[in-house]
Amino acid sequence: MSAACDQAAAEVGTGVGAALRAVDCTAAEMTASAFGRLFASGGTLGTALTILLTLFIAFFAITLLLGRTNLSVRSLTPRMITLGLVLTFATSWIAYQSVVWNLASGAPDQLATILAGSGESATQTFAAKIDVVFLAIQEATQGEQDFSAFSPPGLMWLGAMLFLLGTVGVLVTAKIALAVLIAIGPVFVVMALFGGTRGLFTGWLKGLVMLAVVPIFVVLGGSLMLELAVPILAALTATPGMIDPQAAMAFFMIGAVHAALMVMMLKVAGTIVAGWSVFGLVPDKQIAGTGQAASSPTGHASSAVQPLNSSPAQASTGRAIPAAAMASAPPAANDSGSAADTRRSGAVWRASTPDLARSNPGAAPSRAHGIGNRFRPANTPRTEKFT
């Protein structure tokens, strides 16, 4: 650990801001050292990376031999881009730090700073405000030694603990988990080479984005709750040695609401990431299920038979004629002496002429009606064509 991180770690107990700085510094150094031990030059898993790249090229050669693909720009471009990106982010710490680490850890803080409108880091500003809140509570309860949990000083400290767990607890936990995911990230980046393990890469990327989004919600939501707590803290410290019970209860309610808000923000972050298809790397199961459900009526409709040239009354009823029943029905002759015409498409039969329906409107059309309509003799005065 560097001297700067040692100094930051020594100041962990002095305040929330110092604790967050120590977490950031330690996480950055731990991620860099873990990256160097994996696939980088001199890493332990360098041989494993060589084997995986050999398998990737061998599988592509096998698909070429089997005729499953060809040597075209359309088939080679995605594979070459995937291979280049995997090699870059799995072996180069400069590229990995510039893209993955900076986007996952620096971009959320930068976005929160822009939204909050502060000139400095939004996370550090938020931590400094929390330190001010705890100093105010400490001054308000300075003369109190023994108090119960439901007394005004106890309610103040319970609210402070809930506020601390909802802000610093969630923020530090998200930062540590994010550092762990980034540290083992090269392993999941390599898994993007193969279709069978690509789901692990997409899951890792979703978890990375979720943990990167959480600090934005924590800082913005916590800043809003701190603004609501400012007049309550002013009422608590207005009279030295006296704690207003109503102000203490109000501060406790703010801490409880903030803790519930952070739980809701975690759920929202998970919901946002769950709907992401990760650039289409893995098809979404819900979309696939919807497509199957949408195509099922077509499949059922293809197994049913509907008259093509039926009357409007028959078309409105929409009765289907099963193929099995049609096959067993005897042929019937039309009014010109020829058999009615039928067509068979796969296992489906459709009646093609409404002669029987015109001759007997009350009866159902014959299942073999229309056979031979295409082979009508030339001297037949009928000139109707099947369309």
pLDDT digits (tens, 9 = 90+) for 227-240: 888 888 888 766 66
Q: What is the pLDDT of residue 9?
A: 78
185 Cβ neighbours under 8 A, 6+ residues apart = 89, 96, 100, 204, 208
Cα torsion at 234, 237, 243, 247 (round to 10°)?
10
Does 292 fall in a domain?
no
Taking residues 128-138, report their average pLDDT: 84
Residues 201 and 311 in one domain: no
User: What whole-number percentage of the chain has pLDDT above 70?
Assistant: 70
Number of domains making up the chain? 2
Residues 258 and 311 in one domain: no
Does 382 fall in a domain?
no
Residues 272 and 340 in one domain: no
Question: Model confidence at 132, in pLDDT bands (50, 70, 90)?
Answer: confident
82 Cβ neighbours under 8 A, 6+ residues apart = 192, 193
pLDDT at 358 over 60: no
Does 114 fall in a domain?
yes
Taking residues 360-377, report their average pLDDT: 52
Which of these three, 252, 282, 312, is where a domain ends?
282
Residues 277 and 346 in one domain: no
Does 151 fall in a domain?
yes
Q: What is the pLDDT of residue 128?
A: 85
Residues 252 and 350 in one domain: no
Residues 103 and 224 in one domain: yes
Question: Model confidence at 325, in pLDDT bands (50, 70, 90)?
Answer: very low
DSSP 369: T
Residue showing tokens 């979309």: 287
Lowest mean pLDDT: which of 222-226, 254-258, 286-290, 347-351? 347-351
Q: What is the pLDDT of residue 228?
A: 86
DSSP H or E segment with residue 342: strand 342-345
H-type alpha helices, 329-379: 355-359
Between 210 and 286, name the one with better pLDDT.
210
Residues 305 and 250 in one domain: no
Q: What is the pLDDT of residue 360?
A: 54
Region class of 193: left (phi > 0), else alpha (psi between -120 and 50), else beta: alpha
pLDDT at 340 over 70: no
Residues 177 and 317 in one domain: no
Give the range of the structural domain holding residue 352, as residue numbers without chain letter. 301-375
Between 274 and 364, name the one with better pLDDT.
274
Taking residues 320-347, report their average pLDDT: 44
